Amino acid sequence: MTEIITFGNFKGGVGKTTNATQAAYELSKRGKKTLLLDLDPQANATNIMLKTKVNLTDEIFQFDSSLMSAIQSKDLTKALVNITKNLDLIGSSADFSLFPRVMERQFSKYIDRVTHLNELLKPIAQKYDYVIIDVPPTISLITDAALYASDWCVIVMQTQQQALDGASAFIQYMQKEVIDTYHAPRLDLVGILPVLIQPGAPVDNLTLQNAVEEFGQANILPTSIHQMQRLKRYGVTGITDDSRYDKKVFEVYKQVVNDILSRIEANE
């Protein structure tokens, strides 16, 4: 059975894309067929993965079709690219910002715009063990469509007040709009993944404490992400796998993915 997981927060710059790409990469290393679906028009996840493909295969790739064009032709496979063994990407680009406008022209009812991506994704998703979705940090049709199509959501929360506020708003929106109003058939919260700006600093500790008080300890994933220069480097170089610094990152995300999968298994 395919598990579709969105990584989100309404606050930008919290590490959402970094964690989505790392989770997808870790799952593929475990032999799980994984699809990374980039629904953010900024296309940061796409850029990271295309650079990763160059690192792993020395192959430079250009899409034959953009995600927006693939949606308009009702065939997402046109935007599909293999990154490495067990890992595929449906990449985004700037023209995906037109998605709400295109859906508005195609469907008069908002609910039909929300559910359309789910219908297009169904035949592809069943070929994978996991689909990881990266979304923009906005209240938008794009986020609505991603959450509606998902089984699970991981909220990435950097240890700053704005990220905590964004996480809170995301959970409330997910429940009130996507679950209660749009009747998403499967969506549930996996948990909140803390990203520590400065481990042990008073602000980080206070933000984590406030998160526990607001969401409950059970909703905070046990593994926290600490600031690592290698993670920042991946944004420039793509993911590499040739040094002890890479191995250190992979060990952290091995535990993060263990946490996520344990929560999913416990809730099924």
Residue 14 confidence (pLDDT)? 80
Token digits of residue 238: 């793509």
pLDDT at 200 over 90: no
- Taking residues 188-192, report their average pLDDT: 97
Rg (CA), the chain: 18
CATH code, 3-263: 3.40.50.300
Q: How far apart (Å, rounded) are the C-alpha atoms in residues 39 and 17?
A: 11
List, in order, residues 6 or more apart from 122 with CB less than 8 Å away.
Answer: none
Q: Where are the domains of the chain?
A: 3-263
pLDDT band at 168 (very low <50, low <70, confident <90, very high): very high
> What sign for the dihedral angle of Cα 106, 110, 116, 119?
negative
Residue 220 confidence (pLDDT)? 96
Residue 61 confidence (pLDDT)? 72
Residue 40 confidence (pLDDT)? 96
pLDDT at 193 over 80: yes
- Taking residues 245-267, report their average pLDDT: 96
List, in order, residues 6 or more apart from 75 with CB less than 8 Å away.
Answer: 120
pLDDT band at 144 (very low <50, low <70, confident <90, very high): very high
Residue 224 DSSP one-character state? P
Name the percent of the chain lying above pLDDT 70: 100
